Structure 1
Amino acid sequence: MRGVLQVYHSKLKSKELDALFEAVLSLKSEEECYMFFEDLCTVAELSAISQRYKVAQMLKDGITCHAIAGKTGASTATISRVNRCLNYGTGGYCTILERNGKKGE
């Protein structure tokens, strides 16, 4: 996992994404998050994002792919992609899971 002080240089970096992330960082409550993300994303997009996060939590808890698929309805392709990000990605999932507790219950 990347160190907290290490500077990350994303391949996706752009002024537009910088502005979006600054907006997200300015949100002050769960209610503000709901309001912003409901305006920003479709229900399907939010559902897909929250499903991936749940999959990441479950993978970190050592739950099997089959059990994750059964409990979340996620495809094996989605589970595989999240697992690949956990193991070989930028460390974003790991950072958040460590900060917020990895348990998905």
Structure 2
Amino acid sequence: MQLNKLNQKEVEQLFAAILKLETMEECYQFFDDLCTVGEIKSLAQRLEVARMLQEGCTYNQIESETGASTATISRVKRCLHYGTDGYKLVLERIAEDVK
């Protein structure tokens, strides 16, 4: 699936690069070079917000545990309900790995 707003050669190159990563260490190496610490933490925070929303946590619980703003929580919630199911896909796969 390609999203029109992301359909650019550079974005496809980035996604292809991510798919080439084989280990957690390689992910750390690549993202450490690619992103600032703050950017990585922000991405990780959004994923955790999505996980907590799927588990039925309240905004207050999520804000308290993750430090995410209500604006971030709302945005993630909107994506969970009206997005392209990217969060759901990844969270399901992570859950399968835990089993």
Same fold (TM over 0.5): yes
Query: 4+ runs of 1 displaced by more than 6 Å?
Result: none
RCO greater where, 1 or 2, for CA within 8 Å and sep 6 or more? 1
Measure the CA separation in 2 of the matches of 1:61 and 1:94: 12
Q: Structure 1 residue 101: deviation in Å?
A: 1.3
**How many correspondences in the alignment?**
95
Task: Tell me how large the CA RMSD over aligned residues is.
Answer: 1.1
Identity of aligned residues (%): 54
Amino acid at match of 2:36: T
Q: Which runs of 5+ in 1 are unaligned?
A: 1-7
Amino acid at match of 1:10: L
Q: 1:1-105 to 2 correspondence within 5 Å?
A: 8-11=1-4, 12-101=6-95
Using the size of structure 2 for normalisation, the TM-score is 0.92
Q: Structure 1 residue 67: deviation in Å?
A: 0.6
Q: Larger % of helix: which?
A: 2
1:28-83 Cα shifts (integer Å, max 9, x gaps)? 00000000000000011001000000100100111111110011110000000000
Q: Which runs of 5+ in 2 are unaligned?
A: none
